[in-house]
Structure 1
Amino acid sequence: MSRRTLLVATALLLAACAVQLPAAAAAPLGSLLESAARLDSWLVSTRRAFHAQPELVFEEHNTSAAIRQHLDELGIRYKFPIARTGIVAEIGQGQPVVVLRADIDALPILEETGFDYASRSPGRMHACGHDAHMTMLLGGAKLLKGMEAQLKGTVRLLFQPAEEGGAGGDLMVKEGALEGVKAAFGMHVWPMLPSGVVASRAGTIMSGAIQFEATLRGRGGHAAMPHLTADPVVASAAAVGALQALVARETSPFDSAVVSVTRLQAGEAFNVIPDEAKIGGTVRSNNDEGMARLRRRLEETVAGVAAAHGCTSEVSWLEESMPYYPPTVNDGEAYKFAMDVAGSLRDDPGLVTETEASMAGEDFSFIGRAVPSCFIFLGIRNETAGSVHGLHTPRFTLDEGVLKLGAALHAGLASQYLQRWHERQAGGAKEEL
């Protein structure tokens, strides 16, 4: 074999390693899960402490302080504040830089679980698993700090505020949290999947989302004489029905889209037709082009229906309270890499699978637009643990048995990414996965 042929063959072999984990690397990945299991009681107590003290969008002051205390105890350097209440921490040094991200805010929901560690802030609850996300990232940080001398680069930890409507991910990107970063990984607990299942997909995994409010103005009057009015209640009811056609008759069955009207407000008296009525809701699409079309057609449809009923209309896109979240799109190679690492953590390949996309929104999307990324679902559905309730519900319950898996997966993704990046550089391959 000529020297040139040997070099080419070596480069091809190293490139293949970006997708197929070498058998020799399986043992250290397996040991990560064993190490994470030894942290189990710490993970559970840490998550419960976070759960008891939920804080809303950009109000995560105590949460952020608690995270910083853990980082101080671990001797991990960090920058604070970023994105108002967020934290950027680092383990290791040099290139490349890989990001692990967790969101830290809670929801305005009154908890109904009855746990002794339930929310101590009435009307606020970690009902989306962000308490688990930051706990698993801290657990991963513990594991990575223990192997810091062997890390072949820098692991950057993003503790991100304001995922639930404040677009904290966008703000972190704008303030430089991804400077010099080669790739990023994030995960979300997912009650639709059995506990311990790790799932993702290449391409769009979560939809773009935006909220709207439409005001229809007419001419009110006595309910006994509707012929003398221009009734905005009837107009708004007609608009609700007409908007359903934007998905049912104007969107390809091969595309995913949602137009849901969730609010209808009008009048105060039973015998008075009001001057105006309001409807509101959410629009979702799996691509930017679809979102642009739905926004335009929603405005046109509401205006047309209002005019047909002798009313005027105005549509507001509520981006000050809930900015547009673009679709979350996974890089194909980052997805293959993440699923390979997840599969190598355990012996059962059936616990790693491809998932269907969700029409829920997620502001990891801003990170995914900036660097090659993969967002992962971690199953938590476990009837024995009572973990059967949906996200954003007052009875949402976490199967705490998955915390160690999440911590090990964070550590495995970061350490393996750094190692493989250097292997590819040594083989003359391009920088990306």
Structure 2
Amino acid sequence: MLAALALLACASAAAATAAAGTPELGHFLDKARGIEDWLVSTRRLLHTIPELFYEEHNTSATIRRYLDELGIPYQYPVAKTGVVGTIGSGSPVVALRADIDALPIHEETGVEFASRSPGRMHACGHDAHMTMLLGAARLLKGMEKELKGTVRLLFQPAEEGGAGGDLLVKEGALDGVKAAFGMHVWPTLPSGSVRSRAGTIMAGTIQFDVTVRGRGGHAAMPHLTKDAVLAGAAITTAIQALVSRETSPFDSAVISVTRFSAGDAYNVLPDTVRLGGTMRGNTEESITHLRRRFEETVASTAAAHGCTAEVDWMEERMPYYPPTVNDPEAYKFAIDVASRLLPDASQAGETEGTMAGEDFAFIGRAVPACFLFLGTRNESVGAVHGLHTPRFTLDEGVLPLGAALHTALATQYLEQWHVRQPQGGGGSGTAGREEL
């Protein structure tokens, strides 16, 4: 009840300030715009030094250098190559997260600050995420004496396949944290907009590799073989029924075969075929069901063609990512803060989810959390290309907004947490999702 009343009060304040045309939290954006040149130069530096997951040694060193310059203490290493900074003191503790790894993509943007590592690129905007969190660190450090608690800065490695968020949680980086917030640049949304949703916003994902074994032979005499190619093709088709006929139309799931390799001659049927891809679902229950039925379908379809098949879920190399689920109260709080920060409050609101995966999911399983999308689509600066593509280009004009949003989320959470505490609570609070 206290949380609901506090949020209703915030919503009323947001409506009043929006009507007046003056964002209540606009001063955070003004401060961030005052360091825009620093933000841009920081992002461009980070863009030149992309590193893959758990190899972010230079990236981590650069982050630590910035934190040293700002006088912000930190822990290192955390989750192998990550950094956890601290601003303020006491309860509560709120966490802000940025991922720091890059992708194995050769950059084709042509910008003067392009990747200096061939075959490596910040094609998912993690350079922007780091920059926005460093910008927030700079702003928060400047108001440290005013903070009503502690802000924990999570510079997390290995989002792109290494489950760095899971390791971050297991090593205690979220211990004592009451709430956590993260954001991702999103080139399908208009630049400067902030969107999210309560509940599942990103899917659970897992990769698979299937080996089909048959008996090869001459292509002119297929009756003397056990055709693994035909079995592999049948498997590719059969597993689609797990989505179209075994998943509720009100749920969402995706099974995509993205790799298929078989033999190296035109007149020889090979002994083995390999196919691989990803499975995605909106709930862990859905993923569990799909995994079981996937294994059964693969085995039975291979057997129907006289072959055998083995499924490797690849979890030691590419771990399972659970769905990213936003705490409903954390979502309401975050969108309220964004609406009080943006010049146009209507640019903050709900969006549809995506079947892409994100290891902020591990943080959301550990503490009440909200993950937000920060729109970056801006045709005037060429920011129109998709994530994970060699031509992905960032609208750098959103960097101050990201820094300001991190700052506002942290400061407002700390302030409202104390308002929400029952009289005589002493400010220590009680762990649990009801605190939001």
Q: State the distance in 2 between where 1:166 and 1:423 align.
A: 39
Of 326, 329, 332 in structure 1, the residue corresponding to residue 325 of structure 2 is 329
Percent pairwise identity: 70
Q: Aligned AA for 2:140?
A: L
Aligned to 2:227: 231
Q: Aligned AA for 2:300?
A: G
Matched, 1:245 2:274: no
Please state how far the C-alpha of 1:402 moved relative to its aligned partner: 0.3
Aligned residue runs from structure 1 range 88-237, under 5 A: 88-237=84-233
Deviates more, 1:338-347 or 1:17-26: 17-26
Q: Aligned AA for 1:316?
A: D
In structure 2, the residue corresponding to 1:119 is in which secondary structure?
Answer: coil
Q: Aligned AA for 2:407?
A: A
Q: After superposition, what is the alpha-carbon deviation per residue over 1:12-62, rounded to whole angstroms, capped at 9, x for unaligned?
A: 854644665576998662111000001111111100100011000100000
Please state how far the C-alpha of 1:424 moved relative to its aligned partner: 1.0
Matched, 1:417 2:430: no
Alignment gaps of 5+ in structure 1: 1-7
Q: After superposition, what is the alpha-carbon deviation per residue over 1:225-265, rounded to whole angstroms, capped at 9, x for unaligned?
A: 11100010011011111111111111111001000000001
Q: State the distance in 2 between where 1:187 and 1:327 align.
A: 16
Q: State the distance in 2 between where 1:332 and 1:19 align.
A: 15
TM-score, scaled relative to structure 2: 0.94
Aligned to 2:288: 292
Q: State the distance in 2 between where 1:354 and 1:17 align.
A: 20
Q: Aligned AA for 1:153?
A: G
In structure 2, the residue corresponding to 1:384 is in which secondary structure?
Answer: helix
Give the conservation status (yes or no) of the 8 Å contact 1:11–1:428. Answer: no
Give the conservation status (yes or no) of the 8 Å contact 2:17–2:340. Answer: no
Q: Hey, which bits of structure 1, 4+ residues long, moved more than 3 A?
A: 10-28, 426-431
Aligned to 2:364: 368
| Cα distance, 1:416–1:48 mapped onto 2, change above 3 Å | same
Give the conservation status (yes or no) of the 8 Å contact 1:21–1:340. Answer: no
In structure 2, the residue corresponding to 1:216 is in which secondary structure?
Answer: strand
Aligned to 2:402: 406
Deviates more, 1:388-397 or 1:25-34: 25-34
Q: State the distance in 2 between where 1:421 and 1:18 align.
A: 13
Please state how far the C-alpha of 1:320 moved relative to its aligned partner: 1.2
Q: State the distance in 1 between where 2:134 and 2:247 align.
A: 43
Q: Aligned AA for 1:284?
A: R
Q: After superposition, what is the alpha-carbon deviation per residue over 1:142-171, rounded to whole angstroms, capped at 9, x for unaligned?
A: 111111110000000000000000000000
Give the conservation status (yes or no) of the 8 Å contact 1:201–1:330. Answer: yes
Matched, 1:343 2:333: no
| Cα distance, 1:13–1:362 mapped onto 2, change above 3 Å | closer
Matched, 1:282 2:278: yes
Q: State the distance in 1 between where 2:4 and 2:232 align.
A: 62
Q: After superposition, what is the alpha-carbon deviation per residue over 1:356-387, rounded to whole angstroms, capped at 9, x for unaligned?
A: 01000000000000000000000000011101
Matched, 1:378 2:341: no
Give the conservation status (yes or no) of the 8 Å contact 1:95–1:152. Answer: yes
In structure 2, the residue corresponding to 1:212 is in which secondary structure?
Answer: strand
TM-score, scaled relative to structure 1: 0.95
Q: Aligned AA for 1:406?
A: G
In structure 1, the residue corresponding to 2:30 is in which secondary structure?
Answer: helix
Q: Aligned AA for 2:93?
A: V
Aligned to 2:391: 395
**May I ask how many residue pairs the two structures share in their alignment?**
425
Of 72, 75, 81 in structure 2, the residue corresponding to residue 76 of structure 1 is 72
Give the conservation status (yes or no) of the 8 Å contact 2:186–2:373. Answer: yes
Aligned to 2:300: 304
Q: After superposition, what is the alpha-carbon deviation per residue over 1:367-421, rounded to whole angstroms, capped at 9, x for unaligned?
A: 0000000000000000111011111000001000000000000000000000000
Q: State the distance in 2 between where 1:178 and 1:167 align.
A: 15
Give the conservation status (yes or no) of the 8 Å contact 1:47–1:131. Answer: yes
Q: After superposition, what is the alpha-carbon deviation per residue over 1:264-294, rounded to whole angstroms, capped at 9, x for unaligned?
A: 0110111111100011000000001100111
Matched, 1:44 2:57: no
| Cα distance, 1:196–1:292 mapped onto 2, change above 3 Å | same
| Cα distance, 1:262–1:183 mapped onto 2, change above 3 Å | same
Give the conservation status (yes or no) of the 8 Å contact 1:21–1:341. Answer: no
Alignment gaps of 5+ in structure 2: none
| Cα distance, 1:304–1:342 mapped onto 2, change above 3 Å | same
Q: Aligned AA for 1:179?
A: D
| Cα distance, 1:324–1:428 mapped onto 2, change above 3 Å | farther
Q: State the distance in 1 between where 2:378 and 2:103 align.
A: 23
Q: State the distance in 2 between where 1:11 and 1:188 align.
A: 26
Please state how far the C-alpha of 1:425 moved relative to its aligned partner: 1.3
Q: State the distance in 2 between where 1:398 and 1:188 align.
A: 12
Q: State the distance in 1 between where 2:13 and 2:326 align.
A: 20
| Cα distance, 1:413–1:224 mapped onto 2, change above 3 Å | same
Q: After superposition, what is the alpha-carbon deviation per residue over 1:337-361, rounded to whole angstroms, capped at 9, x for unaligned?
A: 0000000012312211200010000
Deviates more, 1:139-148 or 1:28-37: 28-37
Aligned to 2:261: 265
In structure 2, the residue corresponding to 1:319 is in which secondary structure?
Answer: coil
Q: State the distance in 1 between where 2:56 and 2:257 align.
A: 30
Q: State the distance in 2 between where 1:349 and 1:179 align.
A: 34
User: What CA RMSD, in Å, does the superposition of the two structures yield over aligned residues?
Assistant: 1.8
In structure 1, the residue corresponding to 2:235 is in which secondary structure?
Answer: helix
Q: State the distance in 2 between where 1:43 and 1:343 align.
A: 23
